[in-house]
Amino acid sequence: MTDEQLLELLSKGTWLSKNRKIRFYAPSFMHYKTVHYCSSTKDFPTISVTGSGCSLKCKHCGGTVLNTMYPATTPEELFRLCSELKQKGALGCLISGGCLPDGSVPLGRFIEAIGKIKRELGLKIFVHTGIIDAQTAQNLQEAGVDSALIDVIGSDETIRDIYKLDITVRDYAASLNALNAAGIAFVPHVIVGLHYGQLKGEFDALKMVSKYKPSALVIIAFMPIHGTEMENTKPPTPVDIAKVMVTARAMFPQTPLVLGCMRPKGKHRSETDILAIKAGADAIAYPTEEAVRFAKDQGKQFSFSPICCSQIYMDISSN
């Protein structure tokens, strides 16, 4: 199918979600302000258990994203920070961090602290796992983690060249299997255009995910970040992102589908957001003004939430 044919089908509302409501999310990860909503710096922040450290220094990130997170590099620091955030009004947080050489985020030694945070503070806890083994997945589930977020890569070449990892897509498949077997809610993220802005492995990643029943599915897209090896790399086009969104919608008709927070900004984002709605997205993180207007023009009701967009499956089930 050509780009023009896809755009024509999208314009006809072929995949437009039949749900009358679309959900928008604007957590504390970044500042967001429109005529409809203004994000808070305290409601749902991100914490790095490795501080600014990362063994991989992937070409697209280089560890720069870690500098936007609260550092908490010991279990004691993590609990203390979460206590302070709770006192300031936080509803929860995303616990993330840089990766070890095997592609995992070192969450193991923080399990006990996470359990204590859940028991004593009652915060909503999402974790970004990276590659994960069965025991760690089980431990996270027993600690009461609300949701596990995992990026799923479908190309061995991309894993080697961009992530600089000596693993394969089989390791991502094994991680999905570990999360599924543990019974923890998990939300895979598929990154469009990570291979130098080109489509490579995204549809294979969706096939991997389709073997399981994720709580939700998030599509994000490579965006050039200043100071990284790929700062001058062109991102995927809005149409390429829409191709992955449409495929995901067809493969996961009953799974909440989200356009996540990482994607190019400016006019590119406005076009992407509108195409995502046409492609059947149930939610968008940090939507542009144009996307909100388009949703209203389609007769959709909308709401904003200060929580991470991976929360959508909880929001839908509570209605």
**Residues 161-188: pLDDT tens digits?**
999 999 999 999 999 999 999 999 999 9
196 dihedral zone (left: phi>0; alpha: psi -120 to 50; beta): left
Percent of all residues in the chain with a pLDDT value above 90, rounded to a whole number: 89
pTM: predicted TM-score of the whole model, two decimal places: 0.95
Structure tokens at 298: 């389609």
Give pLDDT, residue 15.
66
186-192, strands of its sheet edge to edge: 70-71, 46-48, 92-96, 124-128, 147-152, 186-192, 217-221, 257-259, 283-285, 21-25, 301-305
pLDDT band at 202 (very low <50, low <70, confident <90, very high): very high
CB of 159 within 8 A of CB of 167?
yes
pLDDT beyond 70 at 46: yes
Q: The tokens 């090896």 sit on which residue?
A: 229
Give pLDDT, residue 2.
80
Between 17 and 30, name the one with better pLDDT.
30
Q: The tokens 């990766």 sit on which residue?
A: 99
Q: How far apart are CA 254 and CA 90, in angstroms?
A: 31
Q: How far apart are CA 141 and CA 160, in angstroms?
A: 30
pLDDT band at 9 (very low <50, low <70, confident <90, very high): confident
pLDDT band at 124 (very low <50, low <70, confident <90, very high): very high
pLDDT beyond 80 at 12: no
Give pLDDT, residue 14.
66
Percent of all residues in the chain with a pLDDT value above 70, rounded to a whole number: 98
| Average of per-residue pLDDT across 70-99 | 98
Give pLDDT, residue 18.
67
- Mean pLDDT score across all residues of the chain: 95
213 dihedral zone (left: phi>0; alpha: psi -120 to 50; beta): beta
pLDDT band at 118 (very low <50, low <70, confident <90, very high): very high
pLDDT band at 99 (very low <50, low <70, confident <90, very high): very high
- Give percent helix, percent strand, percent coil of the chain, each to the nearest 5: 40, 15, 45
Query: Which 3 state secondary structure label does DSSP give 151?
Result: strand
Alpha-carbon dihedral sign for residues 286, 28, 194, 15: negative
Give pLDDT, residue 53.
96
The dotted CATH code for 3-318 is 3.20.20.70
Query: Which 3 state secondary structure label does DSSP give 276?
Result: helix
Q: Which range (17-26, 164-173, 182-191, 250-259) has the least confidence?
A: 17-26
Give pLDDT, residue 8.
79
What Cα–Cα distance (Å) separates residue 64 from each residue in 162, 227, 285? 15, 8, 21
pLDDT band at 10 (very low <50, low <70, confident <90, very high): confident
